[in-house]
Amino acid sequence: MRPSPSRLLNILVPVKRAVDYAVKIRVNPQQTGIDTNVKHSMNPFDEIAVEEAVRLREKLKASVTSIKAITIGPPKALDTLRTALAMGADSAIHVEVPETQPAPEPLAIARTLKAVIEKQNAAATKPEDKIDLVILGKQAIDDDLGVTGQMLAGLLGWSQATFASKVDIDVAKNEALVTREIDGGGEEIKCRLPLVVTTDLRLNEPRYASLPNIMKAKKKPVEKLSPADLGVDYTPQLETLKVSEPPVRVGGGKVANVDELLAKLKEAGFP
């Protein structure tokens, strides 16, 4: 009897170009959104996702056949893909959205990812060419919606392991053991592949992109697609009414003694 071919993993890592978290966010004068003419970088949770994919390959060696990064965004999002490639992804897909168009919503993103996965898996002649693991950030720090991973798993009918702080994959058994961050601790779940994992902060600490890898990344292939190629409609379903800054924090004051404190509290309406 011939042994069944050992399973091989193909990992897809969706990444998003977001306003860098070190940048101070300012609302635009029209109050329709934020000033985006600032420094952008890869969404930190997605950076953790890329790192996890690379670490899985370092651990599972040849069992990980490919790591592909994908982004859906304006022309400048290519920089974000290059970072992912410099960190260790093998190839990338850029679904380009015009600069002027509003950022696509999570459902549209999930549909795009589904279309990409189905396209590749339909074209695969051997089972080991199929994408069977998606690792992505649990949320993007710009809109904080945090639903893309769950939507994708739902659309594909795959297992999902959200808010992961530890991922162990048993390729032979076709299983993953994932620790999830939940209120008050961790929850260990076992899931079957194919699987969507969303990353939490404690999963790992992403590496810097080293110079030789940055140079190599420039030569790695990036496939360019348009939403139309994938048959996905990016018309927004949500309407933003108004964006405003949080109220300015008023500084505290010092009181000389308890009596003064009590008086102030009464003044502020405390009984």
Partner 1 sequence: MLAARLWARQRALPRRVGFSTAALPHTSLNPVTEQDVAHFSKFLAPNSIISTLSPNPCAPDELETYNNDWIGRFHGQSTTVLKPKTTQEVSEILKWCNDHRIAVVPQGGNTGLVGGSVPVNNELILSLANMNKVRSFDPISGILVADAGCILQSLTDYVAPHNHIMPVDLGAKGSCQIGGNVATNAGGLRLLRYGSLHGTVLGLEVVLPDGRILDQLTTLRKDNTGYDLKQLFIGAEGTLGVITGVSILTPPAPQASNNVILALPTFDNVLPLYQTVKRQLSEILSAFEFIDRTAYDLAVKHGQGRALSEEDTKGAECFVLVETSGGRREHDEEKLNDLLELLLSADKPLINTGVLSQSPAQFISLWALREGVTEAVSKEGKAYKYDISVPLSSFKEVVDNTREHLRSKGLLHDKAVKYVLGYGHVGDGNLHLNIVADAYLPEIENALEPYIYEVVAAHRGSISAEHGIGAMKTHALPYSKSAISIELMKKIKQVFDPRGIMNPGKVLE
What residues line the site for partner 1 (CB under 8 A)?
Answer: 20-23, 39, 41-42, 44, 83, 86, 205, 207-212, 214-215, 254
Between residues 208 and 270, which has the closer beta carbon with respect to partner 1? 208
Sign of CA pseudo-dihedral 132, 135, 138, 141 = negative
Half-sphere exposure of 172 (CA within 13 A, CB side): 1
CB 127, min distance to partner 1, A: 33
CB 214, min distance to partner 1, A: 6
Which three-class secondary structure state does DSSP give residue 100? Answer: coil
Between residues 85 and 195, which has the closer beta carbon with respect to partner 1? 85
Between residues 2 and 39, which has the closer beta carbon with respect to partner 1? 39
CB 120, min distance to partner 1, A: 27
With b for 16 or more beta-carbon neighbours within 10 A and e for fewer, the 78-105 pattern comes to bebbbbbbbbbbbebbbbbbeeeeebbb
Between residues 39 and 126, which has the closer beta carbon with respect to partner 1? 39
Between residues 23 and 201, which has the closer beta carbon with respect to partner 1? 23
CB 207, min distance to partner 1, A: 6
Look at residues 38, 47, 34 and name the one whose alpha carbon lies nearest to residue 20: 38
Give the C-alpha distances (Å, rounded to integers) separating 133 from 12, 64, 196, 213: 6, 10, 6, 24
Sign of CA pseudo-dihedral 210, 215, 216, 220 = positive
The rounded distance, in Å, linking the Cα atoms of 226 and 114 is: 14
CB 39, min distance to partner 1, A: 5
